[in-house]
Amino acid sequence: MNHEAFQQQLVKFPTNVSAVLQSLTQQQGRLDPEQVLTLQELLQLSTEGLLKVLLPLAGAMSTCPVSNFSVGAIVEGYREHGPGPFYLGANLETLGQPLKMSIHAEQAAICNAWHQNETRLRCLMVNEAPCGHCRQFINELNEVGQMDILVSQLHSEQQRHYRITNLLPDAFGPENLHQATRLMSTTSQSLASPDPTDELVNAATEAARRSYAPYSGCYSGVSLRLKNGTVITGRYAENAAFNPGLTAIEAALVSLRLNSLGEPHSKIIDAVLVEKQAPVSHLAMASSILGHHGAQLRHYTV
């Protein structure tokens, strides 16, 4: 994960703008509403115009050793009045893993907002049209029918507006499986920590409680301890079509990338997966991914 690419993109902005954007490194790739308004005033841009200007910065977060193709995405949290917070994301790929392990930019931005307690999105902007995988993932979101999806290629002035019904007609979604709750809804599972004396186990359990797994019931969370003492977590996000979901370890990798925008990320020295007993398990995938980081995984079933 190259933090330098993000910093190099950051300094391309005017100094007063860059000073505001530097907060992204301390806020896990988030801009608060007041920061959004400040940037709009400094750059004399609409909300959509600001999203467009920030897309290259989101793309600079990309880790793409397989495709060598960077994609950036930004989502805006829903607020009834005024702009919502912006959350950045980019595609993340892992060498030695199947292509299924690729985290798409739209997934990363949505995961970022979800981890920071957003329950609904006003819009999503991405620099390439969402693939079918991402359209299916987006379709799982809370209040998705009201969300704007904007496609704005970096080297083009053209901007296209969509609703999910345009991108995914005749969709198969939660309602087809009689599921009323959607991804990003405020729900929590009653899961007891398997070791209340262990901080990392408790963090993974809390992530599992707030995960979204209505189809398999495999509510799961991952926690990572870095050498510098930081604890990173990730929650499982399931999908009605099953495959386009985001596992807890993938979500944790998104959080790890967002934690390293200002400096190289610290080494992972401990990792925990907590998951509810179910017909599926994420143990093999999480262990494989963490093996690439030289970390052992502790696994608990509740």
CA distances from 20 to 6, 7, 24, 36, 254 (A): 14, 13, 8, 9, 22
Strands 148-151 and 86-90: unpaired
Handedness of CA 170, 173, 178, 182 (dihedral sign): negative
Helix (H/G/I), strand (E/B), else coil: 186: coil
Whether 27 contacts 87, CB under 8 Å? no
Whether 116 contacts 134, CB under 8 Å? no
Nearest to 109 by CA among 211, 30, 27: 30
Q: Is 8 left (phi over 0), alpha (psi -120 to 50) or beta?
A: alpha
Please count the residues of the chain: 302
Strands (E), 185-266: 220-226, 231-235
Instruction: Verify whether residue 106 is a known catalytic residue.
Output: yes
CA angle 126–132–138, rounded 5-degree value: 60
Q: How far apart are CA 183 and CA 237, in angstroms?
A: 7
Q: What is the DSSP string of 2-60?
A: -HHHHHHHHTTS-HHHHHHHGGGGTTTSEE-HHHHHHHHHHHT--HHHHHHHHHHHHHT
Catalytic residue among 76, 106, 128, 238: 106
Catalytic residue positions, numbered: 106
